[in-house]
C-alpha cells in the first residue's frame, strides 16, 4: 500500500525553504523543519546567535527566523567557516538520527498517541499546561528511543491564549493567529496533490478536516484542522482555540480528535498497533473503532474485545468534575450521528459512557467510556493510581478496590529538553553512562563523587541567568501594566544573583493553592526582608473562565505595597515552555502546594530537580513517592480535614520549614563559600530523582506494560 503520511509533503516544505539559503547553509532548511534541533545539545544557542533580536521576535521558530533573515546576513553566515562547519555537523547528526532503525516494533504499525494538547515547543502554542508538555515530552523521548510512535492531535488556528495582567493583577487574555506559513508544518496531501481530508459528523453537517504534519525528531505529529472553506463558519472555528469555554464546542473538538483522528490515520494508510488515549478527550475514538469492527461483520461482543486489544488509556484527572460528561439530549443534539458512527443503538452507546450502564439518568462521560473500552488503564503516579481506583470502582462492582484494573505509570520529563547543558556536561564528566542507565543502575551512585565546588558553580550560574531574565522581563511588564517607574524598576534593582531563589510556576488553578503564599503576610515579609532574604518568582496562566483562580493572582498583587514585597517577589507574565525552562533551571527551591490527592502527578518539580533545584512540596502526586527526607522537603497534608484546616496547617508547615530549615541551610557557608548541607541535598535529589522521574523510565514502563497487554 502506498502511504500518504506526509513525508513527501515535509520534503516539499524543506525544498521550498532551501532556495532562500546560500548553498553552504542549505542543510538548515532540513533542520528547521523538524523540532529535533530544540533538544539537540547546543543547537538552540547556535541558531539564536544568527540574530538574537529576530530569534526572540520569531518566538524561537527557526523557519520563521530563516524567512526573516536578510540576504546580507545569510551571506555573512555562509562566509563564516565556523558557522558552516557547525551546520554541517548538526545536519550529519540529524541525518544519522533519522536513519537509525527502530528499536522495537515496526514502523508499519506504530503506536498512535492521541491527545488534545501537545507542548512541543513555545513556537507552537498548542498546549495549556502539564498534560500537553507531558505529551510533547512523550513524543521526544519516543523519538530518542527509536520507538515507532505517531502523535495525533488538533491544529489550532490560534491555540492557547497569551496572558497580560493589569495593574490590579487581573488576567486578560489575547490570542494570536498561528501563522501556518511560518511554523514547521506541512499539509498532508493525497495522490492528487490536494490536501488529504476526512470528515466527521457534527450537529447537522459533515465537518471536513485537513491534516498537518509536524516532525518531532523521528516521530510525526498529525494535527487535524477544520479551518477549511468547505465548512460553515462555526465549524471552521472548532479547531480555533484550545479548550474553548463553550462545552458544546469542546465536544465538537473531541469528536474531531477521536473520530477524526482514527479516520485520518486510516486515510494516510497508517495501521496503528495501539491507540494510546492520553486523557479522555480523544475517547470517542473507541466508538469509531467499534463501529468499523461492527461494519466488518464482527459481532458486538467480539468487536468490544477487539477495541480493548487496541486501546490503552491514561487518566490525568483525579477530580470528578474535571472528567467531562454530557446528557443524552446534549449528545443527541450535538453529535446526532454518533449512533451511526458506533453502529450501536443510542441506548447501547450511552451505556458505554456511564458508570452504571443501566441508569438512564446518568450522563455520558468520556472517562468511563475510555476505561470501559481500553485494554489497560493507568494513572500518572502511585497515589493517583490509588485515587483513580477509588474514584472509578463502581465501574467494576464485583471487584475489590485493590483489584480495579487501573494501574499507575508515574510521569517523567524529557531530560534533554529540560536539563541545562552545563548540568548535562557535569553528569557526562562524573557520572558516565547516566544518559542510558535505568533507575536501578549503580551508575547513579557516582553523583556523590561530583565535587561540591563544581556542582555549586553550575547552580550559581543557573541562578544568575534567571536573574537576568527577571531583570529583563519585570521592568517592561510592570511598565506596561501602568506601574510607577520606581515600582517597575524595584525588582530589577533589588534582585540578586546570590539570594535563595524560590519558584512557583504552573497553571493557576485553585487546587494548586497559590493563595497559601499570601495567607500569612507577616511571615512572608520577614522571609523577604531578613538579613538572609529570599526572592521569589511566580508565573502561571489561569483558564479564561476560572474567575476564582484569577482572584488568587490578584490576592498576590494586593500585598504588593507592603515594603519589600514588590522588590523581592516578581510575577512574570505568559508562562509558556520558554519561560518555564528558565524558571525550572534557575530556581534553588521549587514550591508546589496542591490540595492533597488533587495533583495527579505534577512535573515541573521533576524539571527543577534535574537542574539541581530542591523541592518544598505537599506530598501529593509524584512527590508522595519521591520524597525520602534527604532529597527535599515534604509537607504531609491530611485530605480528611476541612479545607480551611488543611490550608491553615499546610501554610504553617510551609513557613516553618522555610524559617527553621531551608533558609538557614542555604546560607550556612564554609570557608570556601559553599553551603555543604545544601549541596548534599542537591546530590541526593539528583541521584534519586533524575533516574526515576525521566521520560526515559516512563516510556519504558509504557512499553513494558504494553507488552503485557498485547504483544507487538
Q: Report the interface residues with ligand PLP, using CB under 6 A.
A: 129-130, 133, 506-507, 575-577, 580, 602-605, 607
Contacts of 218 (CB under 8 A, 6+ apart): 97, 98, 100, 142, 143, 146
Shortest distance, CB of residue 592 to ligand PLP, whole angstroms? 6
Nearest to 318 by CA among 234, 221, 222, 383: 383
Whether the Cβ atoms of residue 401 and residue 390 lie closer than 8 Å to each other: yes
Shortest distance, CB of residue 578 to ligand PLP, whole angstroms? 9
**DSSP 8-state secondary structure symbol assigned to residue 69:** S
Shortest distance, CB of residue 137 to ligand PLP, whole angstroms? 9
Distance between CA atoms of residues 47 and 69, nearest Å: 12
In the complex with ligand PLP, which residue's Cβ is closer, 292 or 501? 501
Shortest distance, CB of residue 104 to ligand PLP, whole angstroms? 28
Shortest distance, CB of residue 58 to ligand PLP, whole angstroms? 19
In the complex with ligand PLP, which residue's Cβ is closer, 129 or 613? 129
Shortest distance, CB of residue 243 to ligand PLP, whole angstroms? 14
Distance between CA atoms of residues 559 and 565, nearest Å: 7
Crossing angle for the helix pair 577-586 and 452-480, nearest 10 degrees? 140
In the complex with ligand PLP, which residue's Cβ is closer, 250 or 607? 607
Shortest distance, CB of residue 501 to ligand PLP, whole angstroms? 17
In the complex with ligand PLP, which residue's Cβ is closer, 607 or 683? 607
Contacts of 515 (CB under 8 A, 6+ apart): 552, 555
Other beta carbons within 10 angstroms of residue 215's beta carbon come to: 24
Cell of 365: 462521560
In the complex with ligand PLP, which residue's Cβ is closer, 278 or 374? 278
In the complex with ligand PLP, which residue's Cβ is closer, 567 or 574? 574
Distance between CA atoms of residues 436 and 432, nearest Å: 9
Distance between CA atoms of residues 159 and 155, nearest Å: 8
Distance between CA atoms of residues 297 and 308, nearest Å: 17
Residue for grid cell 493507568 = 378
Residue for grid cell 540578586 = 496
Distance between CA atoms of residues 692 and 690, nearest Å: 6
Distance between CA atoms of residues 22 and 16, nearest Å: 13
Burial 74-104 (b: 16+ CB within 10 A, else e): beebbeeeebbebbeebbeebeebeeeeeee
In the complex with ligand PLP, which residue's Cβ is closer, 465 or 507? 507
Shortest distance, CB of residue 214 to ligand PLP, whole angstroms? 18
Shortest distance, CB of residue 413 to ligand PLP, whole angstroms? 7
Shortest distance, CB of residue 601 to ligand PLP, whole angstroms? 7
In the complex with ligand PLP, which residue's Cβ is closer, 9 or 573? 573
In the complex with ligand PLP, which residue's Cβ is closer, 5 or 582? 582
Cell of 17: 525553504
H helices present in 374-439, as ranges: 382-391, 415-418, 421-430
Residue for grid cell 553551603 = 675
In the complex with ligand PLP, which residue's Cβ is closer, 386 or 592? 592
Instruction: Report residue 314: phi and psi, to 5°.
Output: -115, 120
Contacts of 144 (CB under 8 A, 6+ apart): 217, 414, 416, 696
In the complex with ligand PLP, which residue's Cβ is closer, 326 or 633? 633
| DSSP string for 146-189 | T--EEEEEE--SSBS-EEEE-TT--EEEE-----TTTSSEEE-B
In the complex with ligand PLP, which residue's Cβ is closer, 77 or 583? 583
Nearest to 412 by CA among 13, 152, 138: 138
Cα three-residue angle 32-78-97, rounded to 5 degrees: 35
Shortest distance, CB of residue 151 to ligand PLP, whole angstroms? 17
Cell of 478: 510592570
Shortest distance, CB of residue 502 to ligand PLP, whole angstroms? 15
Amino acid at each position: 500500500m502506498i502511504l500518504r503520511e506526509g513525508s513527501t509533503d515535509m520534503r516539499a516544505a524543506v525544498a521550498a525553504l532551501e532556495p532562500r539559503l546560500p548553498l553552504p547553509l542549505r542543510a538548515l532548511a532540513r533542520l528547521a523543519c523538524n523540532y529535533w534541533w530544540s533538544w539537540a545539545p547546543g543547537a538552540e544557542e547556535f541558531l539564536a546567535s544568527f540574530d538574537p533580536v529576530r530569534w526572540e521576535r520569531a518566538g524561537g521558530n527557526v523557519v520563521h527566523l530563516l524567512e526573516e533573515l536578510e540576504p546580507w546576513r545569510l551571506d555573512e553566515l555562509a562566509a563564516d567557516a565556523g558557522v558552516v562547519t557547525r551546520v554541517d555537523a548538526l545536519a550529519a547528526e540529524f541525518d544519522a538520527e533519522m536513519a537509525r532503525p527502530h528499536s522495537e516494533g515496526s514502523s508499519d504499525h506504530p503506536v498512535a498517541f492521541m491527545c488534545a494538547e501537545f507542548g512541543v515547543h513555545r513556537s507552537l502554542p498548542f498546549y495549556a499546561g502539564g498534560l500537553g508538555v507531558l505529551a510533547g515530552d512523550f513524543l521526544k523521548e519516543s523519538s530518542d528511543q527509536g520507538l515507532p510512535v505517531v502523535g495525533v492531535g488538533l491544529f489550532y488556528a490560534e491555540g492557547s491564549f497569551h496572558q497580560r495582567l493589569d495593574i490590579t493583577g487581573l488576567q486578560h487574555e489575547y490570542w494570536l493567529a498561528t501563522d501556518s506559513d511560518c511554523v514547521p508544518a506541512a499539509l498532508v496531501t493525497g495522490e492528487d496533490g490536494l490536501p488529504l481530508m476526512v470528515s466527521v459528523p457534527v450537529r447537522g453537517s459533515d465537518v471536513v478536516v485537513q491534516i498537518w504534519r509536524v516532525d518531532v525528531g523521528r516521530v510525526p505529529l498529525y494535527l487535524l484542522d477544520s479551518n477549511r472553506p468547505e465548512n460553515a463558519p462555526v465549524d471552521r472555528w472548532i479547531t480555533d482555540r484550545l479548550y474553548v469555554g463553550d462545552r458544546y464546542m469542546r465536544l465538537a473538538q473531541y469528536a474531531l480528535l477521536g473520530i477524526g483522528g482514527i479516520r485520518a490515520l486510516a486515510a494516510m494508510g497508517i495501521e496503528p498497533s495501539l491507540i494510546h488515549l492520553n486523557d479522555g478527550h480523544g475517547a470517542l475514538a473507541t466508538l469509531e473503532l467499534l463501529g468499523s469492527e461492527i461494519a466488518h461483520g464482527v459481532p458486538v461482543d467480539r468487536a468490544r474485545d477487539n477495541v480493548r486489544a487496541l486501546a490503552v488509556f491514561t487518566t490525568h484527572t483525579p477530580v470528578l468534575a474535571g472528567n467531562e460528561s454530557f446528557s443524552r439530549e446534549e449528545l443527541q443534539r450535538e453529535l446526532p450521528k454518533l449512533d451511526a458512527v458506533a453502529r450501536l443503538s443510542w441506548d447501547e452507546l450511552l451505556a458505554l459512557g456511564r458508570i452504571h450502564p443501566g441508569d438512564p439518568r446518568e450522563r455520558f462521560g468520556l472517562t468511563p467510556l475510555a476505561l470501559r473500552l481500553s485494554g489497560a488503564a493507568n494513572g500518572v503516579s502511585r497515589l493517583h493510581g490509588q485515587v483513580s481506583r477509588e474514584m472509578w470502582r463502581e465501574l467494576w462492582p464485583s471487584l475489590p478496590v485493590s483489584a480495579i484494573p487501573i494501574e499507575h505509570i508515574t510521569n517523567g520529563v524529557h531530560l534533554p529538553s529540560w536539563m541545562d547543558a552545563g548540568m548535562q556536561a557535569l553528569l557526562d564528566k562524573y557520572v558516565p553512562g547516566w544518559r542510558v542507565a535505568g533507575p536501578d543502575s549503580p551508575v547513579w551512585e557516582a553523583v556523590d563523587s561530583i565535587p561540591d565546588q563544581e556542582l555549586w558553580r553550575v547552580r550559581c550560574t543557573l541562578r544568575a541567568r534567571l536573574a537576568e531574565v527577571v531583570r529583563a522581563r519585570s521592568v517592561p511588564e510592570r511598565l506596561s501594566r501602568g506601574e510607577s517607574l520606581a515600582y517597575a524598576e524595584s525588582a530589577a534593582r533589588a534582585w540578586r544573583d546570590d539570594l535563595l531563589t524560590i519558584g512557583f510556576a504552573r497553571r493557576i488553578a485553585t487546587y494548586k493553592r497559590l493563595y497559601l503564599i499570601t495567607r500569612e503576610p507577616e511571615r512572608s515579609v520577614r522571609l523577604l526582608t531578613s538579613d538572609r532574604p529570599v526572592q521569589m518568582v511566580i508565573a502561571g496562566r489561569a483558564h479564561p473562565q476560572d474567575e476564582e483562580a484569577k482572584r488568587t493572582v490578584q490576592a498576590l498583587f494586593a500585598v504588593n505595597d507592603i515594603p519589600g514585597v514588590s522588590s523581592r517577589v516578581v510575577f512574570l507574565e505568559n508562562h509558556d515552555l520558554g519561560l518555564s525552562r528558565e524558571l525550572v533551571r534557575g530556581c534553588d527551591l521549587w514550591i508546589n502546594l496542591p490540595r492533597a490527592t488533587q495533583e495527579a502527578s505534577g512535573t515541573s518539580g521533576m524539571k527543577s530537580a534535574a537542574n539541581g533545584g530542591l523541592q518544598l512540596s505537599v506530598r501529593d502526586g509524584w512527590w508522595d513517592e519521591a520524597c525520602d527526607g534527604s532529597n527535599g522537603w515534604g509537607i504531609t497534608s491530611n485530605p480528611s480535614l476541612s479545607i480551611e484546616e488543611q490550608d491553615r496547617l499546610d501554610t504553617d508547615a510551609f513557613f516553618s520549614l522555610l524559617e527553621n530549615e531551608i533558609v538557614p541551610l542555604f546560607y550556612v557557608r564554609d570557608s570556601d563559600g559553599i553551603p555543604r548541607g545544601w549541596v548534599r541535598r542537591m546530590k541526593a535529589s539528583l541521584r534519586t530523582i533524575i533516574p526515576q522521574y525521566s521520560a526515559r523510565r516512563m516510556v519504558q514502563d509504557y512499553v513494558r506494560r504494553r507488552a503485557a497487554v498485547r504483544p507487538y
